A and B are shown apart, each in its own frame.
Chain A
Amino acid sequence: MTGPGPAVEDLLRTLAPQVLGLLVRRHGQFDACEDAVQEALLAAALQWPADGVPEHPRSWLVTVATRRLTDAWRSERARRDREVAVAVREPAYAGIAPPPDEEPPAGDDTLRLLFLCCHPALNRPAQVALTLRAVGGLTTAQIARAYLVPEATMSQRIRRAKQRIEAAGARFTMPSPAERDERLRAVLQVLYLVFNEGYTASSGPDLRRAELTVEAVRLARELHRLLPDDGEVAGLLALMLLTDAHRAARTGPDGELVPLAEQDRGRWNRAEIEEGTALVTEALTWSPPGPYQLQAAIAAVHAEAPSAAETDWRQIVALYRLLGRIAPNPMVTLNQAAAVAMVDGPRAGLALLAPLDDDERTAGHHRLAAVRAHLLELAGEPGAAREAYLAAARATTSLPERRYLEVRAARLTDRR
């Protein structure tokens, strides 16, 4: 299947949450409205490239989606009429919508949709799938291809997510101030997951997965536009941009992974680095530092170094310490150990790693073994480093990572 072309596709993706928000506010029934909007988007994707984009594309989509919604209700009503020979009331307008006359400022619908799709009644994969469809305007087939599952599986996941949301009595309103922070954290995590799914695949044979990166950045940008006063939203967008800036340099000609220290910095995307650095630098002047801002700040320090050797490791260590204080996590310790090794030597880094063997979140994890291998190599212990690289290679479930780790181990074989 060929797509409708990038211009039409972009327009449809932007309009999707607006149209869906409008329908849900008018009619309630998130589940039915979401289906109707999907059908309208598909119709537009077929018709617009052939007949031209209508003068009022948003109204066109609203009209078509409303018609689909009415059709669905009519057939549902006919079905019920056949089943019970009593008069059926008007379709239930109740449910999750606030009164239709309450017209919110533009953009609020997108926020409400994001919060709804990241409802705590759903697990992460369901939140991801629903966000991509309802807010991102992706088709089920596109999402299924990106996550390498059959379309039927993805379709079922989305259907079930919508049922859960209805069953949980979720409303198409802003969450209460008490709930809001936690819900926003879930939204940020979902967007970051989508980004990483695409970014880590960007060297793989399936470039369709890499499009998820573009989608995640687009949604993070939109969220930043809607919530310009949230430092973590700015931080997440900055982190995505600063990470994505490495894309061209992160793999070699044969698709092999190139570690940060060996990347050709001339191939880093300067525009993304400048935008990301400016975003996080500015946010840190007024916002309390959060995990996304700090990770973005670390990425910005790497980005400003003209070469790996000229990296300001002291600053990176300080940022990791701060990050470990606000968001303690063994994965942070792992990265901190690698940075400490560059300031105080590999032994100091290895000492920081030792407790992670007793933490069930990192014990036996390939990243722990990989960092240890690297530090052992720096410490001049090729035999132990080789064993650690091989342990990491056995533990990872990523093909390019396994290949990288096996190569590192093989380079040490002769030096043992």
Chain B
Amino acid sequence: MKYMLLIWNRPGFVEGLSEQDRNAIFSEVDEIMKELTESGELVGGQALADPSQTRTVRLTGDRTEVTDGPFMESKEQFAGYLTVDCESPERAVEIAARWPDVRMGFGVLEVRPLMDDAGTEM
């Protein structure tokens, strides 16, 4: 079963951290990614640029309007994702719980199942 782990965190939270803490976070992420690669669970993942680089596109009246900045004004912003293929939803949650954003309280992870093209007739 494939799950996408959506990482939401406070933009700029790293600014308040010492270099040592920052390095610790990076090596923690490297460690988890290495483990997921070795276990054959990692499907993919990407980090996103700072929310200030975002453009939001929507229909206003009968024309498309483009505005700078993210769609949602909230303390936490969508920062990136990883996709895993693992045996159970519990395992996906276990991976999410280890992510530094969760462990250190800078953000939250959403665990969402991916839809499949296959289906059983009923």
Whether a CB of chain B sits under 8 angstroms from the CB of A206 is yes
Whether a CB of chain B sits under 8 angstroms from the CB of A201 is yes
- Interface of chain B, main secondary structure: loop
Neighbouring B residues of A371 by C-beta, 8 Å = 122
A251 CA / B122 CA spacing, docked (Å): 11
Whether a CB of chain B sits under 8 angstroms from the CB of A60 is no
With A123-B87, A149-B85 known as contacts, the answer to whether A398 contacts B39 (CB < 8 A) is: no
Whether a CB of chain B sits under 8 angstroms from the CB of A205 is yes
Give B93-122 interface residues, CB cut-off 8 Å to A.
113-122
With A154-B40, A258-B121 given, can you name 9 additional A-B contacts, CB distance below 8 Å? Answer: A125-B85, A153-B43, A158-B40, A200-B120, A250-B121, A260-B121, A374-B122, A397-B115, A404-B122
A-B contact pairs, 29 of them (CB 8 A): A125-B40, A126-B40, A150-B43, A153-B85, A154-B40, A156-B38, A157-B40, A158-B40, A160-B40, A197-B118, A201-B118, A257-B119, A257-B122, A259-B121, A260-B121, A260-B122, A263-B121, A371-B122, A374-B122, A396-B119, A397-B113, A397-B114, A398-B115, A398-B120, A399-B116, A400-B117, A401-B122, A402-B115, A404-B119
A149 CA / B37 CA spacing, docked (Å): 12
B85 shortest CB reach to chain A, Å:
6
Pair A204/B117 contact, Cβ less than 8 Å: yes
A356 CA / B87 CA spacing, docked (Å): 23
A8 shortest CB reach to chain B, Å:
29
A370 CA / B119 CA spacing, docked (Å): 13
Chain A residue at minimal CB-CB distance from B3: A397
Neighbouring B residues of A204 by C-beta, 8 Å = 117-118
Spell out A's residues near B (CB within 8 Å). 123-126, 147-150, 152-154, 156-158, 160, 197, 200-201, 203-206, 209, 246, 250-251, 257-260, 263, 367, 370-371, 374, 396-402, 404
Q: Nearest 10 CB-CB pairs, A to B?
A: A157-B40, A400-B119, A204-B117, A200-B118, A201-B118, A398-B119, A401-B119, A156-B40, A257-B121, A397-B113
Neighbouring B residues of A400 by C-beta, 8 Å = 117-119
Give B78-98 interface residues, CB cut-off 8 Å to A.
85, 87
A401 CA / B119 CA spacing, docked (Å): 6
A379 shortest CB reach to chain B, Å:
17
Spell out B's residues near A (CB within 8 Å). 1-2, 37-44, 85, 87, 113-122
With A156-B37, A160-B38, A160-B39 known as contacts, the answer to whether A398 contacts B118 (CB < 8 A) is: yes
Chain B residue at minimal CB-CB distance from A250: B121
A17 shortest CB reach to chain B, Å:
23
A188 CA / B44 CA spacing, docked (Å): 31
A196 shortest CB reach to chain B, Å:
8
Pair B40/A203 contact, Cβ less than 8 Å: no
With A125-B87, A397-B114 known as contacts, the answer to whether A200 contacts B119 (CB < 8 A) is: yes
Neighbouring A residues of B115 by C-beta, 8 Å = 397-399, 402
Pair B119/A153 contact, Cβ less than 8 Å: no
Chain B residue at minimal CB-CB distance from A408: B122
Neighbouring A residues of B43 by C-beta, 8 Å = 149-150, 153
A123 CA / B87 CA spacing, docked (Å): 9
B38 shortest CB reach to chain A, Å:
6
Chain A residue at minimal CB-CB distance from B40: A157
Neighbouring A residues of B37 by C-beta, 8 Å = 152-153, 156
A49 CA / B117 CA spacing, docked (Å): 34
A400 shortest CB reach to chain B, Å:
3
Pair B85/A397 contact, Cβ less than 8 Å: no
Pair B120/A401 contact, Cβ less than 8 Å: yes
A263 CA / B115 CA spacing, docked (Å): 25
Pair B116/A398 contact, Cβ less than 8 Å: yes
A200 CA / B122 CA spacing, docked (Å): 12
A326 CA / B116 CA spacing, docked (Å): 32
Neighbouring B residues of A157 by C-beta, 8 Å = 40
A158 CA / B41 CA spacing, docked (Å): 12
Chain B residue at minimal CB-CB distance from A249: B121
B5 shortest CB reach to chain A, Å:
15
A71 CA / B116 CA spacing, docked (Å): 42
Pair B119/A203 contact, Cβ less than 8 Å: yes
A400 CA / B85 CA spacing, docked (Å): 21
A126 CA / B117 CA spacing, docked (Å): 22
A403 CA / B38 CA spacing, docked (Å): 36
Neighbouring B residues of A259 by C-beta, 8 Å = 121-122
Neighbouring B residues of A404 by C-beta, 8 Å = 119, 121-122
Chain A residue at minimal CB-CB distance from B112: A397
A138 CA / B118 CA spacing, docked (Å): 21
